[in-house]
Every structure is written in C-alpha cells, then in structure tokens.
Amino acid sequence: MLMYFRNPINQVFFNEAIVLASMHSFGLEQEWQLGVDKTQLFERCVFLSKLLQREEFIKTRITQSNPQFFDELI
C-alpha cells in the first residue's frame, strides 16, 4: 500500500534531484545571478547523496571517489 503513494520513478532522476537541491542551498540570487562554485556544489552533492544513500538503490551515485560522474551529470 505504501508503494502506491510513492513515486516509482524517483531512482531515474535521483542524482539530478541531488544536484538541484544542492544548488538551491546557495540561495536563489546567488544561484541564478552570480553563479555557484563547482567544488562547493560537488561537496554539497556528496553530502546529500551520503545522507540519502539508503533511500534509493541506484547503480551510480555521486560520491567523493567518483567526481567524473558528477562532471558528466552537470
């Protein structure tokens, strides 16, 4: 019954959602007008991905040891 209320395509856009949530943590003005530092964005993405590592089972996720995946994603 709980699966009925859950979005079944979360895992498809999981990494993109991590990047967008991390970008929003900088604030809207800095994010859209001034820009965001890529290394700080990567650190925040790794933090969020680590926090949510047990929520979704996905093949490749953003990790500290895999910055190439992050570069391809953005």
User: Which structure tokens are listed for 3?
Assistant: 């699966």
pLDDT of residue 42: 96
Q: What is the pTM of this model?
A: 0.81
pLDDT-based confidence at 6, cuts 50/70/90?
low
Class of residue 47 by CB neighbours under 10 A (exposed 0-12, middle 13-18, buried 19+)? middle
Q: For residue 72, is pLDDT > 90?
A: yes
pLDDT digits (tens, 9 = 90+) for 21-60: 999 999 888 888 888 899 999 999 999 999 988 887 888 8
How many residues are present in the chain?
74
Give the number of other Cβ atoms within 10 Å of residue 49's Cβ.
20
Does 4 score more than 70 pLDDT?
no
